[in-house]
Structure 1
Amino acid sequence: MKIAVLSDTHLRAKMPQELLDMLKDADLVVHAGDFITPVVYEAVKASSKRLVAVHGNSDDDSIKSTLPESVIFDAEGVKIGVIHKGRYGTDVTNMRYLALEMGVKVLIYGHLHSPVIDQTDVLLLCPGSPIFPRMADPTIAILHVEGSEIRVDIIKTNTGQMCKSIDFARSLGKE
Structure 2
Amino acid sequence: MKKTEFDPYRWARDEYCEEPQENAGELLGSVILQSEAIIKENNDDKQLQEFALRVLNLAATTMQADWAKEESGLSEEIAHSIRRTIVTAYVLGEQASLLRSATSQSDEQLIDDIGKKLASQMGRHAADIRHSKPGGSRDLRDKIRSIWATGKYTSKDICAEQEWEDIGFKSFSTARKALRNA
Q: TM-score, normalised to structure 1's length?
A: 0.25
Instruction: Tell me which protein shows more helix as a share of its residues.
Output: 2
Q: TM-score, normalised to structure 2's length?
A: 0.25
Higher RCO (CA 8 Å, separation ≥ 6 residues): 1
Instruction: Tell me which protein shows more strand as a share of its residues.
Output: 1
